[in-house]
């Protein structure tokens, strides 16, 4: 199981490493969007992340030292500065208080281990059958189809549909962003990009 404790400091060397991180990064697969100082927003995918920094795959790279504000699915808002550019993206710091870093470490540990622990559907939240079960499912290319929600919780839903996008595909269910986490006989299971409230489910499905 991946954990996010700060790594043990290495023994001193006369050849200092070019980048020494305070926190261990873990690989996670989540989507988001980010904004540079020009206030334009762009999509991104997290390559790896720690409570102190993140590497983002992006269509646009800024300049080292530039401020970045990012909104990451399941994590929320983070901000920091670009520290390094690489092909297809950049690395950034995460500026946060000690309390925020502790909360972020817990979120990242859960994200890193959810597949290993069989957590994609997050059964921590009670599932209910909605009174109005029919909704619309929209694929990344804009294709839209009618679907039936079998059951739903604050974190995800089981959807009866003949459309079965590949696992990990980002879709829209009603007005909520989600991604496909499982296929079953008559449909798919999806995980919402952000934890919902009961009122949000009623308004957005």
- pLDDT higher than 70, residue 124: no
Tens digits of per-residue pLDDT, 79-103? Answer: 999 999 999 999 999 999 988 888 8
What is the pLDDT, as a whole number, of residue 14? 42
CB 5 within 8 A of CB 24: yes
What is the pLDDT, as a whole number, of residue 4? 58
What is the pLDDT, as a whole number, of residue 115? 53
- pLDDT higher than 60, residue 7: no
Most confident of 41-50, 115-124, 188-197: 41-50
Taking all residues of the chain, what is their mean pLDDT, rounded to a whole number?
81
Query: Residue 65 — left, alpha, or beta (φ > 0 → left; ψ -120 to 50 → alpha)?
Result: left
Strand partners, 76: 72
What is the pLDDT, as a whole number, of residue 23? 72
Tens digits of per-residue pLDDT, 165-186? Answer: 998 899 999 988 898 988 888 8
Tens digits of per-residue pLDDT, 34-66? Answer: 999 998 888 888 989 999 999 999 988 889 999
pTM of structure: 0.52
Cα 44 to Cα 62: distance, rounded to the nearest angstrom: 13
């Amino acid at each position: 199981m991946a954990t996010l404790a700060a790594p043990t400091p290495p023994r001193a060397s006369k050849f200092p490493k070019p980048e020494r991180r305070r926190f261990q990064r873990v690989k996670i697969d989540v989507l988001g969007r980010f904004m540079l100082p020009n206030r334009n927003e762009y999509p991104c995918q997290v390559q790896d992340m720690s409570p102190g920094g993140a590497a983002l795959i992006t269509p646009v790279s800024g300049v080292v030292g530039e401020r970045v504000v990012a909104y990451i699915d399941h994590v929320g808002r983070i901000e920091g500065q670009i520290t390094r550019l690489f092909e297809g993206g950049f690395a950034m710091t995460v500026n946060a208080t000690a309390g925020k870093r502790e909360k972020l470490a817990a979120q990242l540990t859960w994200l890193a281990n959810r597949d290993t622990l069989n957590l994609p559907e997050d059964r921590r939240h009670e599932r209910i059958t909605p009174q109005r079960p029919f909704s619309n499912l929209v694929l990344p290319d804009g294709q839209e189809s009618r679907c039936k929600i079998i059951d739903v919780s604050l974190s995800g839903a089981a959807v009866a549909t003949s459309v079965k996008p590949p696992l990990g595909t980002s879709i829209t269910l009603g007005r909520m962003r989600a991604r496909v986490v499982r296929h079953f006989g008559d449909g798919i299971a999806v995980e919402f990009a952000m934890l919902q409230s009961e009122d949000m489910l009623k308004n957005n499905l």
